[in-house]
Copies of this chain bind each other. A is one copy, B any other.
Amino acid sequence: MVTLNDIAVRLGISKSTVSKGLSNASDVSEELRKKIIETAAEMGYSGRRTQKRLCILVENMGYKEPNQFGYELISGFVQRAKLEGWTVDVVPLDKERQKDMTYSDFMTQGGYQGAFLLGFSLLDPWMEEFKTAQIPTVLYDNYIKENPFIASVGCDNDGGLKAAVKHLYGLGHRRIGLLSGPLDSYIVKERYNAYLGALEECGLPVDEDLIGLGYFVAESTRQNLPKLIEKGATAILCADDSRAVAAYTECHDRSLRIPGDVSIVGFDDLPIAAYMNPALTTVRQDRPALGKCGYYALQCLLSGMDIHSIVLRAPLVVRGSTGPAAVRPEKSAEEASHGGGK
């Protein structure tokens, strides 16, 4: 079977240039591209293109177990793609691999016609390349503004978080805290801004003492949750259900009753949410539907439709972890800052 390397040797150019020429990259001259394509055809190169291959690239996200966020997202996508004859590879990724190889090269060498990308952060090496890459690509919860080859799918984070804050406000909560990851991903930033916007809509002031950010879920929840309670939070929004699970553990260790002492709200509605004790009030992301829409968006790009984004609703699912705001004695700022504990 003829390889990229065979074509490279014949033309006296690098394998990566051959790959670029075949993938329509913009930094290969029209003349050279023509030569590469003609030579490839002459030598009988078929690539793996003929196989109808897509890939799902996953980073910063569990997906192997049904209880992990990526599981149904992937199964929704794959289910639709298989119906239309696609082979789909699921490839875990990390920053190192992105440094070793460009996105275009990765895609060309894998023979992939398009990709669905999950869990990328704004700091990822390939994010820069996405601004110009000419490969049909759909991002979950990330947006690339001006590249027509890239589309996005995600949930209405704004609507979901606003519904959560309004629900808490309706229960009498006026000190609503936030536990979240650091602001280095598009989605975390968006939820953070939605939290600020929702407070504003309810006429509540933003208090930085009620916000706890940290990358490592268990560790940062352990550090931040007691601080938020100290500062008078009667309810805590968790930017994802894993943080809500960690918050339950911390509350249990401190004998704080949910929702008697503190109401907890999650985000995602992972399968476990309904089985927690008490069952978790959370914002639902319909992951199978997100996967299906991801495939539809990719199909649009592959057929030349200029799709920009698909957004699903993110409804609030009210369960047992939220209740009327606890009445606590008012503390002076000074007292609180000296950690006069509960």
Contacts and interface: CB of A to CB of B under 8 A. Distances in A.
A246 B155 CA distance: 41
A29 B155 CA distance: 33
Nearest to A146: B159
Contacts of A159: 145-146, 308
A74 interface: no
Nearest to A307: B312
A305 to B, nearest CB: 4
A159 B286 CA distance: 28
Contacts of A300: 289, 293
A140 to B, nearest CB: 15
Interface string A311-323: 1110100000000
Contact of A315 (B292, B306, B307, B312): B306
Contacts of A305: 286, 289, 292-293, 312
Contact of A308 (B296, B308, B313): B313
A306 B312 CA distance: 6
A118 B101 CA distance: 46
Query: How big is the A interface, by class?
Result: 20 to 34
Interface string A154-188: 01100100000000000000000000000000000
A295 to B, nearest CB: 11
A148 interface: yes
A289 B306 contact: yes
Contacts of A307: 289, 293, 310-313
Given A159-B308, A293-B300, A307-B312, 15 more contacts: A146-B159, A148-B315, A155-B308, A286-B306, A289-B305, A289-B306, A289-B307, A293-B307, A305-B312, A306-B312, A307-B311, A307-B313, A308-B311, A309-B310, A311-B311
15 contacts: A145-B159, A146-B159, A148-B315, A155-B308, A156-B308, A159-B308, A292-B305, A293-B300, A293-B307, A305-B312, A307-B310, A307-B311, A307-B312, A308-B312, A310-B311
Interface of A: 145-146, 148, 155-156, 159, 286, 289, 292-293, 296, 300, 305-313, 315
